[in-house]
A and B are shown apart, each in its own frame.
Chain A
Amino acid sequence: MLDQYGLIGALAIVAFLFPFAGVGIAWMLRPKHPNPVKKSTYECGIETIGDAWVQFRAQYYLIALIFVIFDIEVIFLFPFAVAFEQVGPFAVLEAILFVVILAGGLIYAWKKDALEWQ
């Protein structure tokens, strides 16, 4: 078991160091002449007004909530799919019920216009 994950650990270190090393080498090679105008936020020709970190639409929270529900549903279904040949018909029925309940949730969100993008 550990044998299989050793490579992933090594790859995680290598994969993290590779972009960092690239940025490090670029830092040594590149010119550095910053000035306030150059470092200002990009805008279409005029100066930026205020921060970009503002309040935003609740729509994104709704989408994120629905996403979390369905993503967790899929994660639960993966072990079910792997054990599918060993489980009895009752477990399949339960999985179907699980999906149907969540489908009901999707229909509810749909009817409440949570999926409409205004």
Chain B
Amino acid sequence: MDKIDLRVAGEAFHQFLINIGLTSGQASLVDWIFGALILLLMFIVLAILLIWFERKLAGRVQDRLGPNRVGPFGLIQPIADTVKLFTKEDITPTGADRVTFNLAPTLAVFSIVMAFAVIPFADKVIGTDINVGVVYLMAFASIGSMSLLMAGWSSNNKYALLGGFRVVAQLMSYEIPMAFAMLLPVLLAGTMRMNGIVEEQGQFFGLGWNIWIMPAVFIVYLTTALAEGERAPFDLLEAESEIVAGYNIEYSGLKFAWFYLAFFMNTWVLSAVATTLFLGGWQGPFVSQIPALGVVYFMVKTIIMFILFAWIRATFPRLRIDQMMSFCWKFLVPVMLVLFLLTAIILKLGLPTIVVWLLILLSNVVVFAGALWLLGKGLEKSKWASKRLFTPEIPRL
């Protein structure tokens, strides 16, 4: 099998455009538009498959069958839903701020599609390998949370407003530990390029993956990703039993569908980032001989992460808002601050790679275990400590 190299294919396409009489600039323009359309197509196909997949999985967890009527195994279900949502009446409430109200779902989808530009599916299969990849991702994640705030505020509905408040409180707070969790792989790799971070993890046959070097950072990333992806146990901003649906209460028809789509694809993007930063991205056995295998490895790892997110969402009950905020500011942020300082000092000692890795691993384990112990101590003193309201009488036999 010949090497599949997309950069070569892209250059061939570029050359073909020049041959049919375009200038180099025009050919680049066509290249970019084609690339953008391919990424959008990928987004749509993945969305359809993943929505079906998560619903099926949630069905299994809850002892249901999940969608199974439309098409084989219910695979056509998302398309049927799309058709339904397209033909639904779309209501803008009288009191709403029309421009903001209509712009919010568009921005939600926009921010997720934009994130696709820097996700490295394989060595050469990446939209564009810019040298600020990680910060780029964070920037568009912020636009995503802003769109939710816009939706909550512009609906002029009290439930939606409460949802918007919770967006501010939750998404903004959890952005801090998440940014720190993304900072540490950057510190280790010495670059913000997504592919650079993946290449850095290719050493020692998979032992160089950041999940082995800094497991505590990975756990913090996982927790914050659950919060950023509005997933249970952090789904307070759309808690059905408290504020009906939160920010998207007034949305119907396709505008609701955009929020739904953004919600699912946000999880996928977060899993892809977890794969890139912590699970070695497209690295795997024989990937240097057959680069196309990289796509398979990347997708498998990402889908494993996606299953983990879906599983947690289907299993856990949600937290209370004060517990959630305290957990972020009093646990995750201090832990990440300490870990950042320790990692920076360890890296500057000038020791051999293996020793550095072992020291970082040790610092991770010690700091995380210590923080958990302190958390337990603090909770014992807290007035919110879960005390038993009554002691059940154990019948003496």
Chain A residues engaging chain B, CB cutoff 8 angstroms? 3-16, 18-20, 22-23, 25-27, 29-34, 36, 38-44, 48, 51-54, 56, 60, 63-64, 66-67, 70-71, 74-75, 77-78, 81-82, 84-85, 89, 92, 95-96, 99-100, 102-103, 106, 110, 115-118
Q: Is the CB of B249 within 8 A of A42?
A: yes
Interface centre among A15, A39, A74 (most CB of B within 10 A): A15
Number of chain B residues whose Cβ lies closer than 8 Å to a Cβ of chain A? 82
Asked if B161 is at the interface of the complex by the 8 Å CB criterion, the answer is yes
Near A by CB (< 8 A), chain B positions 224-244 give: 244
Give the Cβ gap from B297 to chain A, nearest Cβ, in Å: 24
Interface of A is mostly: helix
Cα–Cα distance between A13 and B106 once the two chains are bound (Å): 12
Is B250 a contact of A41 with CB atoms below 8 Å?
Answer: yes
Question: Are B168 and A60 within 8 A (Cβ)?
Answer: yes
Report which of B106, B128, B180 forms a contact with A7, defined as CB distance below 8 A: B128
Interface, chain B (partner A; CB < 8 A): 28-29, 31-33, 35-37, 39-40, 85-95, 102, 105-106, 109-110, 113-114, 116-117, 127-130, 134-135, 153, 155-161, 165, 168-169, 172-173, 175-176, 179-180, 183, 186-187, 190-192, 244, 249-250, 253-255, 257-258, 321-322, 325-326, 329-330, 333-334, 337, 340-341, 344-345, 347-348
Q: Is the CB of B135 within 8 A of A78?
A: yes
Residues of B with C-beta under 8 A to A26: 85-88, 90, 253-254
For A91, the closest partner residue in chain B by CB is: B348
Shortest B111–chain A CB gap in Å is 8
Q: Which of A64, A106, A118 contacts B329 (CB 8 A)?
A: A106
Contact of A82 with B337 in the complex, beta carbons under 8 Å: no
Tell me, in angstroms, the Cα distance from A2 to B332 when the chains sit together. Answer: 38
Q: Given the complex of chains A and B, what is the CA–CA distance between A110 and B321 in angstroms?
A: 17
Q: Does the CB pair A11–B39 fall under 8 Å?
A: yes
Cβ 8 A contact of A15, one of B113, B159, B329: B113
8 A-B pairs (CB sep. < 8 Å):
A6-B31, A14-B36, A14-B37, A26-B85, A26-B253, A56-B165, A75-B135, A84-B187
Taking CB atoms, residues of chain B closer than 8 Å to A23 are: 90, 102, 105-106, 254-255, 258
Complex CA gap A103/B329 in Å reads: 11
4 tightest A-B CB contacts, nearest first: A117-B322, A15-B113, A10-B32, A26-B254
Q: In the bound complex, do residue B187 and residue A74 qualify as a contact, i.e. CB atoms below 8 Å apart?
A: no
| Cβ–Cβ contact A22 & B127, under 8 A | no
Question: What is the CB-to-nearest-CB distance from A36 to chain B, in angstroms, rounded to a whole number?
Answer: 7
Cβ of B344: which chain A residues have Cβ within 8 Å of it? 84, 92, 95-96
Q: Are B127 and A7 in contact (CB under 8 A)?
A: yes
Contacts of B36 in A (CB 8 A): 7, 10-11, 13-15
Q: What's the minimum C-beta distance from A10 to chain B, rounded to whole angstroms?
A: 4
Asked if A16 and B110 make an inter-chain contact with CB atoms under 8 angstroms apart, the answer reads yes
User: Are B90 and A27 in touch, CB under 8 angstroms?
Assistant: yes
Q: Which residues of B contact A81 (CB under 8 A)?
A: 183, 186-187, 190, 192
In the complex, are the beta carbons of B325 and A115 less than 8 A apart?
yes
In the assembled complex, the Cα of A99 lies from the Cα of B159 at a distance in Å of: 38
